[in-house]
Chains A and B, each alone.
Chain A
Amino acid sequence: MDIRGELERSILIDVISLLASIRISGTLTLDGEKTVDIYFRDGAIIGGASDHEGVFIDLIVSVESGNYYFSGSTVYPREYRYSVNDSHDEFVHKLTKQMERPEVCLDIYSDDMLFELSKVLNLGDLELDSDEWKVLAQLSEKKSVLQIRLALEMDIESISKILYGLENVNIIKRVRKEKTASIGFSLIRKIRKFLERLGG
């Protein structure tokens, strides 16, 4: 499978999350003003290298445009400049927070969206700041973005960035609206008959 594309907006988080989901090994190269290699082993980020010096996460975040491509391999350089010991979630969380791009978040969240804590709340080794903890405390029960904003007296930009960070590491999730009997029983009966005819 060809894994390549343009680096735009928040796509890097999605690329890393999908590589983690499919537990792939190899090198993700970010090719822009700088070149940064990120090494994956079974979906986990183990380290990386760059043609520039600096803190690894800063280098990744600084490649704001250009291309990404992934080369699958289980062979890594014998020595590489940066080792990553963070868990996947911690790494993504740090990355998300470093990406100070409110425009990424602003068009995602609306006041009526409902959030709740994930069923399996694993905070692991995440280093949350006080505002993030405040939002989590609010979400001890389902709440809308507006309810959280009013309770914490936060503007939409601040709350969006926090929700974006927490959602990316799956600490919180969106809540579907309550089920309503939106279709009549007659339709259900007809569909049931149809499925029965098919042996379903």
Chain B
Amino acid sequence: MEERYKILITGPFSSGKTTFIQTLSDTEFVATEEILSTGAEGEKKYTTVGIDFGKIIISEDLSIYLFGTPGQERFDFIWEDQINGSIAIMIMVDRSDFSSVMGAKNFVKFYTSRTNVPIIIVANKSDLPSVISMEGMKQYFEPIVDCKIVECVGRDKASAKDALYTVFFEVILNQPVSPE
């Protein structure tokens, strides 16, 4: 019988959650995107309004499901609902966007105080010019939460997988008793 586990992919608007899930998914990707109702937030034309969904097949009897939340705060009731059953939370941040990094702080605070599952900050879009340095990211987030910050290019499969492996390591390390 297949075991199924869930990793929550969250983060501010336009941080690359949908693309990240799409890149990693081994099966047909399910998106819940709608045309943006306002043009105020950059060039992005579509935004997630429900749950994006992808599946990673680890072995024949184990699959990891990736659930992407909407980034806008008006959907925060979904953020809370989705914590249940998650083995880890990845907070995506557009490292090239100052407001995305600031916005991620709210996500970090939101999840830190609500769950003890591992939280990993994914410094996404690292291939873009003029990104915030990893040192700067560390300085900004370190006082709020002890967690890994990984560089990532979400549309690159190898890079996205590296970020995912970091999550797997954190899941193992987070267990209170070392398993045999």
Contacts and interface: CB of A to CB of B under 8 A. Distances in A.
Given A181-B176, A191-B58, A18 B169 contact: no
A178 B113 contact: no
Contacts of B102: 11, 14-15, 18
Given A1-B132, A14-B102, A195-B165, A189 B179 contact: yes
B116 A21 contact: no
Contacts of B136: 18, 21-23
Contact of B175 (A5, A20, A181, A193): A181
Interface in A119-135: none
Interface in A44-89: none
Determine which residue in B132, B165, B168 has the highest number of CB atoms from chain A within 10 A of its CB, and name it. Answer: B168
Interface string A170-188: 1001101111111101111
A177 B116 contact: yes
Contacts of B27: none
A188 B132 contact: no
A34 to B, nearest CB: 23
B171 A191 contact: yes
Given A21-B136, A22-B136, A194-B58, A183 B175 contact: yes
A150 interface: no
Interface residues of A, number: 42
Nearest to B98: A3
Interface in B1-43: 3, 5
Interface in A1-59: 1-3, 5, 11, 14-15, 17-18, 20-23
Contacts of A181: 175-177
Interface of A: 1-3, 5, 11, 14-15, 17-18, 20-23, 108, 110, 113-114, 118, 170, 173-174, 176-183, 185-195, 198, 200
A21 B169 contact: no
Contacts of A170: 143
Contacts of A192: 172
Contacts of B144: 173-174
B172 A191 contact: yes
Interface in B148-169: 165, 168-169
Interface string B81-101: 000000100000000111101
B46 interface: no
Contact of B58 (A174, A182, A183, A190): A190
Nearest to B103: A14
A18 B98 contact: yes
A1 B99 contact: no
A200 B165 contact: yes
Contacts of A113: 113
A178 B177 CA distance: 12
Contact of B3 (A3, A22, A186): A186
Contacts of A114: 113
B14 to A, nearest CB: 13
Given A180-B176, A188-B179, A198-B165, A1 B59 contact: no
Contacts of B169: 195, 200
Closest 5 CB pairs of A and B: A22-B136, A21-B139, A170-B143, A21-B140, A177-B116
A142 to B, nearest CB: 12
A108 B109 CA distance: 9
15 contacts: A5-B98, A5-B99, A14-B102, A18-B98, A18-B101, A174-B109, A176-B112, A179-B176, A180-B116, A180-B176, A188-B172, A189-B179, A190-B3, A191-B58, A195-B169
